[in-house]
């Protein structure tokens, strides 16, 4: 079999878009891929520092993979290995992998690394215990559209329960950080513990979004007065209480992380400061909708405005309908495609389904050997604008784990 894999021709893709999801599909299915013309017409061609750092993380949680870059970085050939997780002896800290995110990656939030890692974790041979840290580790939401680590913990990880994956899963925010300005560092730190590996995820049937019954959230501030949290909570509750009286938002104030100086024996430097709000609405059927807003690195936006923006963003997400929102949809659909060879169904809002990310995932899933997705109106109710997406699982499952 090893000889067959070595001879297997890589699947060809072009461009930098959807690079992470393609690397994930390659790792899960064991198919080698070749991605060419990565920003070839740009003034700064090739992979970004964030993308090469993500490839390093993939290499850390797998064994036997091969990665080749062209001289300019515009072509990547990836031959995946077995997903081993943080097996004893593989991590430098005895079963814990410490992965550093450098300062050049601070435009992206830590969720950009966490969400793909969570997708791989159930298919690992052993438990996954990874600490992401460094000057580029941003735990808040970012202007580039990445959600905060709080939203990953409260709005994405609970969805794994629907696939029969629910034991010993934890995301700890050890040091909070916000998006830094030019020349500054973030210095955040998060730990993902994912100790529930399965042979195959269960088939999902999620068709009824239900009605929103409660809203929970976290208002956080880093090295700024705690009164900012109170102002965000006051504004958000003022809008949301009219719709859902059961609204509770926690407050978390923390100091800025200290970052070692670049000079020898120099004083430690404080990381970026700021504040933000993460909200999650839960429906009567267990469906989740989230919103995430953080103060921009250049400042100038009052806490009241952040609270107001986040509340309206949450209402907009709920109005899109569907049983899964836009942030979590790629995770859910990918797990459905990897599950047992049965038809899973999920109701999505039309705006969610029409996003570029979901359309690309549907095409790529077929290229990697999956079947085409089926679509139909949800019960003929056109006003709600929901589409039922039917996905046949590939039965790929976890090759490293022989029993469920």
pTM: 0.93
Backbone phi and psi for residue 126, each to the nearest 5 degrees, phi listed first: -135, 180
Reduced to 3 states, what is the DSSP secondary structure of residue 53? helix
Is the Cβ–Cβ distance between 200 and 339 less than 8 Å? yes
Backbone phi and psi for residue 148, each to the nearest 5 degrees, phi listed first: -80, 165
| Token reading at 20 | 């992470």
Q: pLDDT at position 247, please? A: 96
| CATH number, span 84-208+253-273+317-403 | 3.65.10.20
- Note down pLDDT in tens along the chain; length 404 residues: 444 444 678 999 999 999 999 999 999 999 999 999 999 998 889 999 999 999 999 999 999 899 999 988 899 999 999 999 887 544 445 589 999 999 999 999 999 999 999 999 999 988 999 999 999 999 999 998 899 999 999 999 999 999 999 989 999 999 999 999 887 889 999 999 999 888 889 999 999 999 999 999 999 999 999 999 999 999 999 999 999 999 999 999 999 988 877 666 767 888 889 999 999 999 999 999 999 999 999 888 999 999 999 999 999 999 998 999 999 999 999 999 998 889 999 999 999 999 999 999 999 999 998 888 999 987 655 556 799 999 998 887 666 655 44
Return the H-helix or E-strand segment holding 13.
strand 11-14
| Domain locations along the chain | 1-82, 84-208+253-273+317-403, 212-252+274-316
| Token reading at 324 | 């899964």
**Dihedral sign from CA coordinates of 245, 306, 152, 185:** negative
Please tell me the distance from the alpha carbon of residue 46 to that of residue 39, in angstroms, as a whole number.
5
**Which residue from 99, 109, 103, 2 is spatially nearest to 57, judged by alpha carbons?**
99
Q: pLDDT at position 3, please? A: 44
Judge if 84-208+253-273+317-403 and 212-252+274-316 fold alike in CATH terms.
no
322: left (phi over 0), alpha (psi -120 to 50) or beta: left
Q: pLDDT at position 263, please? A: 65
Return the H-helix or E-strand segment holding 329.
helix 329-338
- Class in CATH terms, 212-252+274-316: alpha beta
User: Residue 241 gets which letter from DSSP?
Assistant: T
Residues 139-163 as b or e (16 or more Cβ within 10 Å = b): bbbbeeebbbbbbbbbbbbbbbebb
Q: pLDDT at position 1, please? A: 41
**How far apart, in Å, are the Cα atoms of 352 and each of 6, 176, 212, 325?**
38, 30, 18, 7
Q: pLDDT at position 88, please? A: 55
């Amino acid at each position: 079999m090893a000889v067959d894999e070595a001879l297997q021709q890589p699947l060809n893709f072009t461009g930098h878009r959807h690079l992470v999801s393609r690397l994930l599909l390659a790792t899960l299915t064991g198919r080698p891929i070749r991605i060419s013309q990565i920003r070839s017409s740009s003034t700064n061609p090739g992979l970004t520092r964030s993308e090469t750092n993500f490839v390093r993380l993939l290499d850390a949680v797998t064994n036997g993979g091969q990665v080749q870059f062209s001289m300019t970085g515009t072509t990547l050939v990836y031959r995946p290995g077995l997903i081993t997780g943080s097996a004893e002896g593989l991590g430098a800290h005895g079963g814990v992998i410490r992965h550093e995110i450098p300062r050049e990656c601070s435009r992206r939030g830590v969720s950009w690394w966490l969400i793909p890692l969570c997708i791989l974790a159930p298919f690992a041979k052993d438990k996954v215990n990874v600490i992401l840290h460094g000057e580029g580790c941003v735990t808040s939401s970012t202007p580039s559209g990445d959600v905060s680590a709080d939203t990953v913990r409260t709005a994405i990880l609970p969805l794994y329960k629907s696939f029969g994956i629910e034991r010993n899963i934890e995301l700890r925010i050890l040091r909070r950080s916000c998006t830094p300005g030019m020349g500054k560092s973030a210095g955040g730190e998060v730990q993902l513990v994912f100790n529930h590996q399965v042979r195959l995820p269960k088939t999902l049937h999620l068709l009824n979004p239900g009605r929103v019954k409660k809203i929970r959230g976290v208002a956080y501030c880093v090295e700024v007065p705690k009164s900012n949290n109170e102002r965000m909570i006051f504004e958000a509750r003022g809008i949301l209480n009219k719709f859902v009286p059961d609204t509770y938002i926690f407050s978390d104030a923390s100091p800025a992380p200290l970052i070692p100086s670049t000079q020898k024996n120099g004083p430690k430097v404080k990381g970026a400061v700021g504040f933000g709000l993460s909200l999650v609405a839960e429906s009567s059927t267990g469906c989740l909708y989230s919103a995430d807003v953080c103060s921009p690195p250049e400042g100038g936006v009052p806490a009241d405005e952040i609270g107001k923006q986040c509340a309206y963003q949450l209402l907009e997400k709920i109005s899109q309908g569907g049983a899964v929102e836009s942030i979590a949809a790629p995770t859910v659909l990918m797990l459905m495609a990897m599950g047992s060879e049965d038809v899973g169904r999920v109701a999505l809002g039309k705006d969610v389904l029409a996003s570029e990310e979901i359309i690309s995932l549907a095409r790529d899933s077929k290229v990697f050997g999956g079947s085409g997705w089926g679509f139909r109106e949800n019960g003929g109710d056109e006003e709600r604008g929901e589409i039922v997406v039917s996905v046949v699982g590939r039965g790929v499952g976890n090759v490293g784990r022989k029993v469920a």
